[in-house]
Structure 1
Amino acid sequence: MLARISLLIGALFLVGCSTPVTQMAPSAESVHLRIDGSFNADSCQWLGEVTGSEGHWYSYLFFPNDVLIRGALNDIKNQASQLGANTVYMVNPQDFVTSFTLMGNAYVCP
């Protein structure tokens, strides 16, 4: 019985410590995500690689997949915005058991 109570208290502690889902910065709302093969970056300036991730080994139990994906999308848009990008060409997402990660290339396009 004591073990169960300890486990419950530990779980509640982890919920309290779990990070909230990444929110999108207002400056990132205009960043466009592209995953289509027709994207042509010839007229764009490459600014760098960006990675968006959401979820941790201790918090993934408390958030459904769609919440983790939304957090990763917000994270990658925030990073692109910080670089001054308006477009991110996405690389295949990485879906892990405990988190969701997106990778892409950030560009400024006309």
Structure 2
Amino acid sequence: MKYLIAALLPLMLTGCITFPTENSNNVKVIWDNHYSIAECQYLDTVLGSEGHFYDFWLHSDQNMVWGTLNQMRIKTAALGGDTLYLYQPLGFLGSVTMMANAYDCSGQMVLMEQESTDAEVTTLDEEKVTDVE
């Protein structure tokens, strides 16, 4: 029985993927829109990787991508960032590896929210004026 458990233990451990943490849930993932990070503070480059050449057949691609993104979101949150800007995934067979830049966009988000609120107020005022006439 000991030998069976010892033989199955590595196989059971290969089923693990990275799950998000409370802090990493607040990290936004973006790509293909460099304007959205124009006013953000660059923090660092982060890497994430899930899957290995010996166990990739045990994981779905979706789970490996999800785990990779979660790794990078956790690293971004640990750096004090709130935004992860993705590059094109690196091409490896049997694993998912991604590289991204971590940014702190908290100042920009406040500005964007304020502009959005101002735009909504303007729209409401214009509608009221139109309705009154």
| Coarse TM-score class (shorter-chain normalised) | 0.7 to 0.9
Conserved 8 A contact 1:15-1:62: no
Choose between structure 1 and 2 for higher RCO, CA contacts under 8 A separated by at least 6 residues: 1
Cα displacement (A) at 1:38: 4.5
Q: Deviations over 1:70-99 (max 9, x none)?
A: 100111101101101101111101242121
Instruction: Give distance in 1, aligned partners of 2:13 and 2:28.
Output: 32
The alignment status of 1:106 with 2:102, answered yes or no, reads yes
Does residue 34 of structure 2 align to residue 42 of structure 1? no
User: d(CA) in 1 for partners of 2:11 and 2:104?
Assistant: 39
**What corresponds to 1:65 in structure 2?**
61
Secondary structure of the residue that 2:18 maps to in structure 1? coil
Which of 23, 26, 34 is 2:19 aligned to?
Answer: 23
Question: How many positions carry a matched residue from both structures?
Answer: 101
C-alpha contact (below 8 Å) 1:18/1:58 kept by paired residues: no
What secondary structure sits across from 1:68 in the alignment?
helix
The structure whose residues are more often strand, as a share, is: 1
Gaps of 5+ in 1: 1-8
SS of the equivalent of 2:98 reads strand
Residue 23 of structure 2 aligns to a residue whose secondary structure is helix
Q: Aligned-residue CA RMSD in angstroms?
A: 1.9
Identity of aligned residues (%): 30
* TM superposition score normalised by structure 2: 0.68
Residue type of the partner of 2:54?
Y
Decide whether the 8 Å contact of 1:22 with 1:72 is kept in 2: yes
Amino acid at match of 2:56: Y
TM-score by length of 1: 0.81
